Every structure is written in structure tokens, then in C-alpha cells.
Amino acid sequence: MEQRAPRAAVIMPAYNAEKTVERTVRSILEQTMGDLLLLAVNDGSTDETAAILERLHEEDARVCPITAENSGPARARNLALDLVPPGTEYLMFSDADDLLAPDALEYAIENAGDADLVLMGFSILNPDGSEAKYCEPAARYSPDTLGPALGRLYKANLLNQVWGKLFRAGLILDNRLRFPDYRWGEDRLFIYDCLEHAGSVAVLPECKYRYIMYPGESLITRYYNRKLDICVESDERMEALCERFGVTDQRDHRYMFVKSIFSCLTTLFSPHCTLTREEKRAEIRRAIRNEHVQERSRDVFGGAPVQALCAVMHTKNVTLNYLAFRFVAQAGALAPRLFTAIKHRK
């Protein structure tokens, strides 16, 4: 369907989001910068998500519902990218259960300048009501100056997700950038593609996106059989970016990589992981004997817990690693707030 080119298009995949999607959509429609189009992709939902989006479209023509067979957020976003009206200036992404501050778009656009990619601060609201903010001081980087800041931005969790950012539409559409067909980790690979092609990157300090953690498992905490391979692929891509931008000290990057490997191993013990004990041992064996994992987990800083777990991995002893990461997973279940604080420490 043909649409008038808005100044900004917001892309939002939604799967079985009947409890949250209306609040998210209204936080987008109520932006102080109203020249926008919401491309809302119903990703094969089996609940009332599609009906809610249709009703919201009837109320506000800026809501453009798109229906697709369930195939995950990566394909849903790619479908929406193919439907962005020519002439659209900016793109933004949102999940269907989060919230944008009322001035998020206006704030990002007014401060974008000539940047192709704008990284805004964001906050995470945990199920226990606690809130953590992730932000960095205002800055602007060209390809010649981005290198020294790359590790800091990575550790600040500003490169791991596609939401909380503003993209110049041409950066994505002219370079035919698309999300890889994964159900986890596709965000950061997409961001790496954008960094490789961006002529300028801006960092804005205010937190304008609110990521809401709900009780139960999420894509972050759930076991996914391709997670290890995606972690390695992501780190190899990060190594290539470091070379591209002249980064010589990669300690921050190693630290973030080993944290992702720890996540792979602890999710083996999540409540909904259906692998047998022997299958879990096989996955642990595959991870700790991976040459890339072994090499990149050496000389990693991050405190005693990180170094201790790296030392356990370096033993290549499957039983010892099984016990260690099962303990980590159990400790996280017993003290989720402490576990979250450790997990997200810089």
C-alpha cells in the first residue's frame, strides 16, 4: 500500500502482545514529533494482537498494520523495511512491550545533526520495580574517531539492541542493510552493519526508551540452540570492526564476549530448556572447546567472578563447567536482583 513519506517511520514487530501492544503504540502515536508512520508487523499472533492493531489503525491512520506468518522479529522487521515509503528521512525501532518517552523522536531528530546513527540512553524496568539506566555523555564520532570509544559504548550496552536508536533511513535502505534470520542476537549484528557504513555516529545522554522486563523468561534468558554460534559470529564481526576503526586494546570487547558465553551456558539450566543432561553436557563441551572461545577468554578483566569462570572454562573439564554454570543459574534464580546487577555491571 502506498503511503505518504513521513519524516520518521517506526518499525514494531508484535507477537502475541495483546496485553502490552496498545500501550506501546499509544506511546509512539503521542510523540511530540507527530510526522510519523508506525509500521506494526503482526508476526503470526494467535491472540488479539491483530485485532488491536486494526482498531488502532481505524483510530489513527498513522498506524499501518502488516500481517505476516510467524517467523521471528528479524524477518518481521525486514518485511517492514521493504515497505518504508520512499522519501522517509528517519527510522526508529520499538518492541511491542516497551515505551518511548513522549519526546523521544523529537529529541533524537533535533540533536542528530548530520549523524547517520544516533544512540540514545535507555532504562530497564525490572519485574521487582527497580530501574537501571544506561547512557553515555553526549558525543559525536566519525570513522576516524570512533575506535577509542567503541569498547566503552559496547560495555555501556548501547550497541546490543536496535531499539533506543535513530537511523537515517538512507543508511539502511541505500545500503540494503537487513537483519540476519536469527531469533536472538540479530540486533547487534545489524548495528555492526550500520556502524560499518555510518559516516557519523551521535551519542545522546538522556534515556528516552524504557525496556520493560516482565516476569518469566524472555528471548534474552531463554535457551536458544544457535546462541553460541551467534555469539562467536558477533565477536568475529566486532574484531573486524576493531580492525576497521584502528582499535588496539580489545579488553572491553573480550569482556563483553565472555559475558555472552556465560549467558549461553547458564541458559542451559533455565526452567524451559528441554535438553537432557547429556545434551547439556554436549553443548558445554562444544562451547568450552571452541578455539575462539578459549582464545578470547584469556586476559579478561571484570573482577574475580568473571576471571574465575574463565579459569573454569580453560580447564576444558565438562563436569566442572556443568557444575559451575548450573550453580550460577541457580544463584540467579534465588537472587535475581543481585544476579541482574552483576550481569549488567560495566
Indicate the range of 116-125, 223-232, 326-335 predicted with least confidence.
326-335
Overall domain count for the chain: 2
pLDDT of residue 336: 54
Does 183 share its domain with 242?
no
Mean of per-residue pLDDT scores for the chain: 93
Alpha-helical runs (H) found in the chain: 21-29, 49-59, 73-81, 104-110, 147-155, 169-173, 186-197, 227-244, 251-266, 277-288, 291-296, 304-314, 318-334, 336-343
Taking alpha carbons only, the member of 84, 76, 100, 67 closest to residue 5 is 84
Chain segment 283-319, per-residue pLDDT in tens:
999 999 999 999 999 988 888 899 999 999 999 999 9
> Which H/E stretch holds residue 43?
strand 36-43
Domain end (from 188, 212, 236):
212
Chain segment 133-156, per-residue pLDDT in tens:
999 999 999 999 999 999 999 999
pLDDT of residue 174: 97
Q: 304 exposed, middle or buried (CB, 10 Å; 0-12, 13-18, 19+)?
A: exposed
Does 154 share its domain with 284?
no
C-alpha 326/C-alpha 316 separation (Å) is 16
> Which H/E stretch holds residue 8?
strand 8-14
Does 13 share its domain with 37?
yes
Specify the residue for cell string 584469556: 298
Domain hosting 143: range is 8-212
Is 2 inside any structural domain? no
pLDDT of residue 2: 56
Residue 158: how many other CB atoms lie within 10 Å? 20
Is 1 inside any structural domain? no
pLDDT of residue 341: 47
Is 122 inside any structural domain? yes
Is 299 inside any structural domain? yes
User: Do you know the residue count of the chain?
Assistant: 346
Does 198 share its domain with 271?
no
pLDDT of residue 127: 85
Taking alpha carbons only, the member of 83, 81, 85, 101 closest to residue 30 is 101
Does 272 share its domain with 301?
yes
Is 37 inside any structural domain? yes
> Half-sphere exposure of residue 50, counting CA atoms within 13 Å on the CB side?
11
Those residues with Cβ within 8 angstroms of residue 229's Cβ, 6 or more apart along the chain or in another chain: none
Mean pLDDT of the 89-100 span: 98
pLDDT-derived band at 261, boundaries 50, 70, 90: very high
Is 194 inside any structural domain? yes
Domain end (from 160, 180, 212):
212
Does 146 share its domain with 268?
no
